[in-house]
Amino acid sequence: TLSPHVPAGARGGRVEVPRSVTAVLGQDVVLPCRYQAQEQEQVVQVTWLKRIPGAVPAEVAVLNLQHGEHVLESFAGRVLRHGHGALEDGAILLRN
């Protein structure tokens, strides 16, 4: 399970993600994540985590407004940012 990370105690707008996304083996899939910001808010970073029951969540990708995207080495070439521009759209693309 991959999910965007929302810091504890975060206030303001609302993170919108689908309850589930269906993928076809061998094809690309987009994992949407949209933040409905309130006035004066700006998203500066989106962190995607891989969650496995009984294990500590593992970081997969970090999308940062100033520093661009960073994908963990084990996911390099397979995880890409899907959107462009403002991080209110923090979707990622999983390849193959």
Domains, the chain, in order of start with CATH, read 14-94 (2.60.40.10)
Neighbours of 39 (CB within 10 A): 6
Reading phi first (left if > 0) and then psi (alpha if -120 to 50, else beta), residue 75 is in alpha
Contact present, 35 and 90 (Cβ < 8 Å)? yes
> Which pTM does this prediction carry?
0.80
**What are the pLDDT digits (tens) for 42-92?**
889 999 999 999 999 999 999 999 999 999 999 999 999 998 888 999 999
**What are the pLDDT digits (tens) for 8-40?**
555 678 888 888 999 999 999 999 999 988 888
C-alpha pair distances (Å), 75 with each of 12, 43, 60, 95:
31, 23, 7, 10
